[in-house]
């Protein structure tokens, strides 16, 4: 028979692994010195960007991710939370860095993006990128701009043809009336 504590730890490890698999990326943050109200605000902000903050023991994190034991050994030095990112990686990273400006106690340590280890400095660079919506808008604008120019050019040619035909009709009417 399994003891309750062991069963509980195994369920947490299973949960951490499942969340890592279902998310595109996850980051590690140090939340020491941040009160529960501030953490709730951070959780709400992350939820809006499709992220999730999970706080657990460092030993359980190491057991949940045995493949990354070396990288985690450097990161898991004090109170650590995991931020799972489900869709907009840049949006969640921006939210974390914006929250860090308001609460200097939050330390963004490192993370994994598509199974690649990302250092804190690289995350800071990612936070400076425009959001996904802005990038999609710019891309759409780049694609649509030449098409709009082509449509306007073709429309101009058709309008000139219509004007020419209209002028010819007016001349024929004036010749027929004279």
The neighbouring-strand residues paired with 55 are: 81
Interatomic CA distance for residues 83 and 100, integer angstroms: 14
pLDDT of residue 97: 92
8-17, 42-51, 91-100, 129-138: which has the minimum mean pLDDT?
129-138
DSSP class of 99: H
Q: Which CATH number fits domain 4-129: 3.30.70.1730, 1.10.10.10, 1.20.59.10, 1.10.260.40?
A: 3.30.70.1730
* Residues 104-158: tens digit of each pLDDT: 888 899 888 887 888 888 888 888 888 777 888 888 888 888 888 888 888 888 8
CA distance to 48, 90, 112, 120, 161, per residue, from 117 (Å): 25, 16, 5, 10, 62
Residues 8-27, mean pLDDT to the nearest whole number: 89
Any idea which residue has 């501030």 for tokens?
A: 38
> How is residue 51 written in tokens?
């992220």
CA atoms within 13 A on the CB side of 138: 7
User: Which has the closest alpha carbon to 15: 77, 68, 57?
Assistant: 57
Q: Would you give the end-to-end CA distance of the chain in angstroms?
A: 112
pTM above 0.75, yes or no: no
């Amino acid at each position: 028979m399994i003891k309750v504590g062991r069963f509980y730890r195994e369920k947490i490890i299973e949960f951490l692994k499942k969340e890592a698999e279902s998310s595109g990326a996850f980051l590690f943050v140090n939340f020491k010195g941040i009160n529960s109200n501030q953490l709730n605000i951070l959780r709400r902000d992350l939820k809006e960007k499709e992220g999730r903050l999970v706080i657990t023991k460092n030993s359980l994190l190491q057991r949940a991710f045995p493949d990354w034991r070396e990288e985690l050994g450097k990161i898991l030095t004090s109170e650590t939370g995991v931020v799972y990112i489900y869709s907009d990686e840049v949006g969640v990273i921006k939210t974390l860095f914006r929250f860090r400006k308001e609460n200097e106690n939050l330390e963004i340590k490192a993370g994994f993006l598509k199974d690649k280890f990302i250092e804190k400095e690289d995350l800071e660079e990612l936070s400076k990128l425009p959001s996904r919506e802005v990038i999609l808008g710019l891309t759409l604008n780049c694609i649509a701009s030449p098409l709009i120019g082509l449509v306007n050019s073709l429309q101009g040619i058709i309008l000139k043809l219509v004007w020419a035909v209209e002028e010819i009709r007016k001349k024929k009417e004036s010749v027929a009336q004279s």
